[in-house]
Amino acid sequence: MTPPKRAPVRKKPSRAPTPARPGGAPIETIPLAAGKKGHPALGLGLWGLGRWTPEDEARTKATIGRAYERGVRWFDSAEVYGSGRSERVLGEVLHRTATAGSDTFVVTKVSWEHLRPNQVRAALVGSLERLGRSSVDLYLVHAPDPHVPLAETMPVLEALWKEGKVGAIGVSNFSEEQLEEAARHLAETRLVVNQVRYNLFDRDEADPVRAYCRAHDILLEAYTPLARGLLHGRYLDGKRIPTEVRKFAHRLFEPDRLPEIVRRARDLRALASSAKVPLASIAFHWLRAQGAAPVFGASRPEQIDENLVAWSVRPPAGVLERADRIAQGVRA
């Protein structure tokens, strides 16, 4: 298979061109192999917004607004999140800010159900209308569809890139083979991102593609970086795990696995306590050490503050190495 065209080695992360507002934690940017903007190293994922009831909309807007005020610029959405509601809410909040069109890094995704050429273009038009934007900074294929060849999908994405409607092209939940296949069908630009489920406990999707992505300058975006709250210390002391969390948490909360995961998470919490850092700091910066950019979820403004405090504390390398062993079940 012909590998994708190589780009110059990515430079070390630089400080974001737009500084955080007072009280915000600085979030550096990562240069991409292609695209008009650097990629923030930490972002807010809006998956949960579209499933909330209309009565919760004020809270969702307040959460996005708090993130922007505190210096978050990467916002990740998708057309399937709430059947477009997530994009609409995001667009409404960002339009209240004078500079949101220029200093945000907005990402959205085309559904795996819309990968035929005419569907891709229509999906992007719909997303842009809901967001109230003429373009997005990064457009991802949400997941591959085995019934639609990437030879059909990728050329239309490249056409949209050439038209200036997307700043860069990426994918989500792609294997190495699928990454290679997608790259073969891009002639003038390249893939810059693969977004996968990735945290200290969930590595099955990221580990098989890490080396390939590093070799071809594809940034790994890590969703569920806090393992649905486990790596924030939730559910470690007997608190009931909501049905919805169990449903969307991959295998972490299945009865055959949960007791051991909770034991390891408690050991990680003890490690964080002894190191005098938040548990989430270990989760975020372990991913950072793997070359991944975490995108976290939040349902309340105060969760934005908690996560930015965790981001601002960088644990020593030895703590991250110990956390890696604990998460894998390696006892001292």
Extents of the domains making up the chain: 29-230+291-314
Q: Taking the domain 29-230+291-314, which CATH number applies? A: 3.20.20.100
Measured between alpha carbons, how far is 102 from 257 in angstroms, rounded to an integer? 45
Per-residue pLDDT of 255-310, as tens digits, reads 888 999 999 999 999 999 999 999 999 999 999 999 999 999 998 999 999 999 99
Measured between alpha carbons, how far is 194 from 177 in angstroms, rounded to an integer? 13
pLDDT at 95 over 60: yes
Q: Tell me the CA distances in angstroms from 131 to 82, 168, 181, 197, 319, one per residue in order.
A: 14, 17, 30, 25, 41
Per-residue pLDDT of 32-63, as tens digits, reads 999 889 999 999 999 865 456 777 788 889 99
Q: Mean pLDDT throughout 136-157?
A: 97
Contact 73, 18 (CB under 8 A): yes
pLDDT for position 98: 67
pLDDT at 315 over 50: yes
Confidence of residue 252 (pLDDT cuts 50, 70, 90): confident
Per-residue pLDDT of 162-215, as tens digits, reads 999 999 999 999 999 999 999 999 999 999 999 999 999 999 999 999 999 999
- Longest Cα pair distance anywhere in the chain, in angstroms? 56
DSSP for 252-302 reads: TTSTTTHHHHHHHHHHHHHHHHHHTS-HHHHHHHHHHHTTEEEEEE-SSHH
Confidence of residue 10 (pLDDT cuts 50, 70, 90): very low
pLDDT for position 208: 97
pTM exceeding 0.75 = yes
Contact 231, 208 (CB under 8 A): no
Question: Average per-residue pLDDT in the chain?
Answer: 89
Per-residue pLDDT of 15-25, as tens digits, reads 434 444 444 45
